[in-house]
Structure 1
Amino acid sequence: MFGLLGTFLALFALAQTPPASCVAGQITPPVTEGPFYKAGSPQRTSLLEPGMAGTKLTITGEVFTRGCRPVAGAWLDFWQADAQGKYDNAGYRLRGHQVTDGTARYTLLTVMPGEYPGRTPHIHVKVRAPNGPVLTTQLYFPGARQNQGDMLFRQELLLQIRDTAAGKAGTFNFVLDSE
C-alpha cells in the first residue's frame, strides 16, 4: 500500500516544501512529555505500516541553535496517537527516532493523529543537539476543533500544513536553546 507510489508522493511533497526559516532568539517552547513516552524507539524516518488507517502526513523541517545555526546530527524522537486517538503502549507503533542530516534537515512520514478526551491532535517530540540538553515539546495542527480547549496547546507550535496528492505535508523548524 505504501510502495513505490507512496514513496514517490512523499518525495514529491518534500520537494514542494517551502524553504525553512529561523528567527534568532525565538526558542521552541517546551511542552510536557505526557504519560505515553517510551524510550528505545526504533531509528526510522517512516512510522507508516501496511494497512495503517488515517491521512498520510509528511513533516519536514530543520533544527537550529538560538543563533539560527543549523544543527547537523540532532536527535529527534517522535511519538503519537493513531488516527483513532490511541497510543501503542505495548510496542513501538507510531514511534521512532532519527538524526538530522548534514544540512540539519529531518523528514517524518506518518499519519494525522486523532484526538482523544481532553487533547487536540498532536505529535510529541524530543529534540537534542549532539551533547546538548533535551527539548521535549508537541506539535499541533491549525484549525483542529479542540485546539482552544486543550490546556497544553501553544500557538507557536502549530505546523504549517497543506494538502498534497498523498495526503498532507507539514513543516516545522525547531530552535534549541543552545549555541
Structure 2
Amino acid sequence: MRRKTVLRAALAATAAIPVALAGGPALARTLTGSGTAPQLTPPCDDGDHPTPEQIEGPYFKPNSPQRTSLLEPGMPGTPLTVSGYVFGRACLPVAGVLLDFWQADANGAYDNTGFRLRGHQFTDSRGSFALTTIVPGLYPGRTRHLHVKLQAPGRPVLTTQLYFPGEPRNNTDTIFDARLLMTVRDAGGGREAAFDFVLDVPQDPGPGPGPGPSPSPGGTWAVGTAYRAGDRVTYAGRAYVCLQAHTAQPGWEPPAVPALWRAA
C-alpha cells in the first residue's frame, strides 16, 4: 500500500464530505465504474515526479475572484464538481495552495472581458480543494479540459490542464496528456470528478520505521510494525481492529486514524 493511499484515507476519514459528493467517495482514483484505476499523474512517493506541466493557452486572466463555485443563475451546462488533494514530494498534504481555475462555457467560449467561469481558491488544512462548475464545451482543435494554475506558499507556479476520460478528441488533441485524466462519474444529473495534484514541494517524510517495535504506553500497538487487516491491538487501554494493511508510523495511533483502526 502506497504512503499516499493511507494518508488520503486518513484525511478523508476526518473530513466532512461536500454536499455535492454525499452520494459517493470524493477521492481521486476511486470513481471509475469498472473499479480499475486509470494511470493518472505519478503518485507521490518519496522522490517521485510532480504533476506534469501544460501550456497556459491564450485565455488566462489574472485577478480572478476567490470562490469555490463558478456557477451563476441561469448558466447552461451540465453541473460538475471537482475535488481532491494537493500533496508534496513526500506524500504529505500541502495547506494554503492557490488553485486558479478557468474554462470554456457549455458552447466552448471563454469570457475574455469578465470573470465568468474563472475563480481561485486555497487548499484547507488537510490539503483538500473542491470546485463547483459546469462541464466545459468543445471548440475546434481541443478536447474537453479545465485549466488550472497552482502555487504552494513560496514556491513556483505550476500551470496545467485536467482532462475527461472517454472523450473522442483525446486521441487527436496534440496537447492531451493521459497522466492528467480526472476520474469522472455521472451523479444526480451532473458529473463528479476527482484529481490529486503532486507539487514539487520538498517535504520531510518524517521518521520511518525504526530498527524495532516501539510499544505504546499501556498497549500493544507499536511504531514500525506491519499490520494486516483483521489484526488486533490495544492502545491506551482500548482494543482496536486493523481495517487496512499498513506499517505503523508516529501520528497513526489507533484513536487518530479511524480509516486504519476500528475500536473493538
Q: TM-score, normalised by structure 1?
A: 0.91
Q: How does 1:1-179 map to 2 (within 5 A)?
A: 11-13=19-21, 16-20=24-28, 22-24=43-45, 25-179=48-202
Identical counterparts, % of pairs: 54
Paired letter, 2:72: E
State the Cα distance separating 1:71 from its structure 2 match.
Answer: 0.4
Q: What SS class does the counterpart of residue 86 from structure 2 fall into?
A: strand
Q: Give CA deviations for 1:81-139 in whole Å, capped at 9, x if unaligned.
A: 00110000000000000000110000000000011000001000000111111000000
Higher mean C-alpha displacement, 87-96 vs 161-170: 161-170
Higher RCO (CA 8 Å, separation ≥ 6 residues): 1
Quick one: distance in 2 between partners of 1:78 and 1:163? 22
Quick one: distance in 2 between partners of 1:172 and 1:63? 9
How many residue pairs were aligned? 170
Q: Is the 8 A contact 1:63 1:175 kept in 2?
A: yes
- Superposed CA RMSD: 1.4
State the Cα distance separating 1:17 from its structure 2 match.
Answer: 2.3
Q: Is the 8 A contact 1:100 1:106 kept in 2?
A: yes
Gaps of 5+ in 2: 1-17, 30-42, 203-264
Q: Is the 8 A contact 1:122 1:140 kept in 2?
A: yes
Q: Is the 8 A contact 2:26 2:83 kept in 1?
A: no
